[in-house]
Homo-oligomer: A and B are copies of this chain.
């Protein structure tokens, strides 16, 4: 199948972050055959699309999420102890392969609607997450969580590794779904488990490792109390501070740790909104990037950040850097878009396949309308994307040459079923919250 898009305001997200008016993209067999100014090479019989001056850019990369947690969106909002009061007991009771599939489908719908084409996920029953993302046509890095707190899908570390092995087998050689291993966090795996993960990763060089790192004060306290050091040091002692490690959050880093992570080839997923909503702080993104650490933009789970669209992250990513820097200059809009595309792809180790619109890359692309009066006038498309655009403005989404959304209609998932299934789980959750609140009074 061949598709030729013309008359696009093309943002290929190449290193120069060029803006090409009146550009084209030619897609052949799921791969970008040509992208640049002008009408492109003639291809008789190709599906021809006039973008009418709309933005066409790479699909966005969500560098860290817990998709099934869409079902917890807004639950216990503002309740300071909600993790122990609601979330952990409810996860233990309700998380099942079915619940994971239903939550992932809701998250996949939202991701497609918002122009996110690749999601790095970590949760439980992660093979199910992979299956649903695959069916939805999305690209995913799916990380099986391993933790020592008796999580819903494994009662021992051995069982956690067995799930991971099954996940890796299931998606071996898959074009869009990449299996990943996800030790939950230093405090919930400790050094011996992280060391075992490092050995597993040596044997599975195609599987990225994802971890929560330097996210909480209590994590700093744990590292100091248990090992007399900081969290990054515990990861290093385990041999896990290695090329390709995807570290989520990274709020509490000193300059020496940043240099050490950069030298080791670690990549970071920046969860601006989630971290701020928890009152935890602002990750030193400019410092990390200046040191050479690739940093992607991430939503975290919808319990923490409430949405899975990167537009809602763009403002915070830019504003927080400007607040830390004390001027309007840090983190220009084009850099935010770079982090959401090419740099995000690099964080996930997928930059040989996605992140830019250049020949040979997979055809993961989105089309964004600038028609809404709230976007007008447009002097700089990056400023418009970062500070004014919203998921509603995304009109079409293609992954690996397949249209997942056209004319704002998601094609690869059934909206009514997604909502009905999610509604049934939410009803159970509401009853359980009432029971928990009732027990207490």
Contact = CB atoms under 8 A, between A and B. Distances in A.
Interface stretch (A147-155, A160-168, A189-197, A378-386): A378-386
Contacts of A45: none
Interface residues of A, number: 69
A71 B377 contact: yes
Contact of A77 (B82, B326, B383, B426): B383
Nearest to A381: B74
B278 A328 contact: yes
Q: How many copies does the complex hold?
A: 2
Contact of A316 (B319, B327, B384, B430): B319
Given A307-B387, A384-B74, A273 B319 contact: yes
A423 B377 contact: yes
Nearest to A410: B373
**Is chain A's interface secondary structure helix, strand, loop, or mixed overall?**
helix
A233 to B, nearest CB: 25
A55 interface: no
A430 B76 CA distance: 48
Nearest to A86: B379
Given A74-B387, A377-B422, A426-B379, A277 B312 contact: no
A430 B379 contact: yes
A80 interface: yes
B308 A374 contact: yes
Contacts of A374: 110, 113-114, 307-309, 391
B429 A373 contact: no
A53 interface: no
Contacts of A113: 373-374
Contact of A329 (B80, B330, B373, B391): B80
Interface in A80-135: 80, 82, 106, 109-110, 113-114
Interface string A32-66: 00000000000000000000000000000000000
A281 interface: yes
A418 B312 CA distance: 27
Interface string A377-416: 1111011100110111000000000000000000000010
Given A77-B387, A277-B319, 4 more contacts: A73-B388, A75-B377, A78-B383, A273-B315
Interface of A: 70-71, 73-80, 82, 106, 109-110, 113-114, 273, 276-279, 281-282, 305-309, 312, 315-316, 318-320, 322-323, 325-330, 332-333, 373-374, 376-380, 382-384, 387-388, 390-392, 415, 418-419, 422-423, 425-426, 429-430, 433
